[in-house]
Amino acid sequence: MADNIGNKAAHDYHLDVPAAQEGFYVKGNAHCGWGMKNRLARMFRPESGNTVMLAFDHGYIMGPTAGLERIDLVIPPLVPDVDVLMGTRGVIRSCISPAVSAAKCVRVTYDSTVLYDDMSNGGGIACDINSAIEMNADCMAVQTFLGASGESRSLELLARTADAGSRYGIPTLGVVAVGKEMERTEKFFLLATRVLAENGANIVKSYYCEGFERVAAACPVPIVIAGGKKLPELEALEMAYRAIQEGAHGVDMGRNIFQSDSPTGMAQAIGKVVHEGYTPAQAYEVYQEIKHQK
């Protein structure tokens, strides 16, 4: 029975203070539900509004990739230096501790492997919404192939994922694929990022290009940039710096971190650029310092 005798009477109603009506800092997501915002806030740091996502999902189309032969050895040491882990459910389940505190972005579609010239042909759901919930996913990633034969199929998978995600408060990351036939131009990325956002993506992963500030401005949700093939460390830091200065809200980087001669150094250096506005030269010093601590 409730003990209602002798309790202090409630009186602190602060009648002169308006109710807290916090805005929400993740671009384009202010009208989403609480659960969705909570997951986005686990991915994008409130202090910077940005995120460092570590991508190790390459095996879903490429099999073992240089640097990712033993994910169980390579990825866990990098977890403290990143905000989000991006991988397939198979690899997250087998190689990442469930006690991990970083957010998880699960790749939920499959595509044709590199054995086929046209990887856009033949995609489908690899991890349905029930499995994503069971994984406690903070985000679901869907690859899309604009300008390729699998374009409409991949857009359908994106929209269906976004439908399921909005039902359960799990954001969808739309990934812009660049295939052999696809141009890496401002014109292409303007179209691709906008199409993904309009079809339900809460976040878009795309590539840095000349004219990126217009691409970022025209995309109503945050863009995180992919790293792409391994570059010399300073060049990768320069690319991340330019992207952030021109409106990206983070990186979703794989090879430029785990293929580096100091993955920890690169993860920390990228974090300084993304969250603290370090210049490439300052961040390169961080990388060098950690590399030589070994």
Point out which residues bind ligand 5RP (CB under 6 A): 55, 57-58, 143, 175, 177, 226-228, 253-256
At its nearest, how many Å lie between ligand 5RP and the CB of residue 226? 4
CB of 110 to ligand 5RP, least distance (A): 12
Which CB sits closer to ligand 5RP, 25 or 74? Answer: 74
Cα 95 to its chain centre, rounded Å, is 19
Query: In this structure, what token pair is assigned to residue 71?
Result: 């994910």
Q: Could you confirm whether 104 is annotated as catalytic?
A: no
Which one from 27, 37, 205, 272 is the annotated catalytic residue? Answer: 205
Residue 44 vs 258, nearer CB to ligand 5RP: 258
User: Minimum distance from CB of 53 to ligand 5RP (Å)?
Assistant: 8
**Would you say 32 or 82 has its CB closer to ligand 5RP?**
82
What would the two tokens of residue 164 be? 């399921």
Closer residue to ligand 5RP, CB minimum distance, 40 or 204: 204
CB of 161 to ligand 5RP, least distance (A): 15
Catalytic residues: 205
